[in-house]
Structure 1
């Protein structure tokens, strides 16, 4: 891959998966983006494993790997012997310290920016949901208050209908 080529954010976004309630990228996809072999990426990670605690990187279980494979329908994973490594946003950032090619550094910056955009979108969506809930609560309270006003009006109308007409006093026009 040429260093001047940037990958559309949509392609990077499509390579981010939700596994164990974490947004992660798989070693195979990262290696492809960084223009390195997957085994080279894994080798570098294993040599620097102390940089990758469980919340930065984890290996998929067989079940998770099968679920991921079935997500793609036909297997495009080839004859993989080992389960893939999954990297969280922090793990992807840490990869830049062990993969020193200019392509890897530029891709890393772009990937981190995509993660940041995703987080901003989720935050905006969450705050919008909170605002909508507050509006619903206000509307619910307003409708209860309006209902209460109508109930009082109905009571007043009923009282007026049930009262005996009073004898008029004052000047009478016969």
Structure 2
């Protein structure tokens, strides 16, 4: 069954504009197909979070947040795959499949787990974009706990993001 439908816009163009940072990865690249390591186990992958590195944070950066959002999921609200907050400002990378350095933590994604959840679009669906984003944050702690939803984290980030970097690979069956 094909779920043909229009591609929604880049969700970050709908937020207040902030300066850009550089986000790079040894594992994922803009517009390129995700490899099996970053696909959900239920879809035949290894469910590993990709390696990410960032630079160009502005003065005043006190912490970082990392997110992975799929605006192409067949829901009105997309699908949050990964939401990490309170990464120390001294951190400028995270290894493939790595645990999080204190005091950073992940909130539950839309699959209900507090970890990275790899891509798993429905068979026959449109290609999905996965927006891996680093947010330079102007406060050390975002003020949420591990019970916060990705939407609440995103709401708080809208008021505390100084800059962001984006890498958006794709995946389809």
Superposed pair shares fold, TM > 0.5: no
Higher strand share: 2
For the superposition of Structure 1 and Structure 2, which TM-score range results when normalised by the shorter chain?
under 0.3
Q: Which of structures 1 and 2 has the bigger CA Rg?
A: 1
Q: Which has the higher contact order (CA 8 A, sep 6+)?
A: 2
> TM-score scaled by structure 2?
0.23
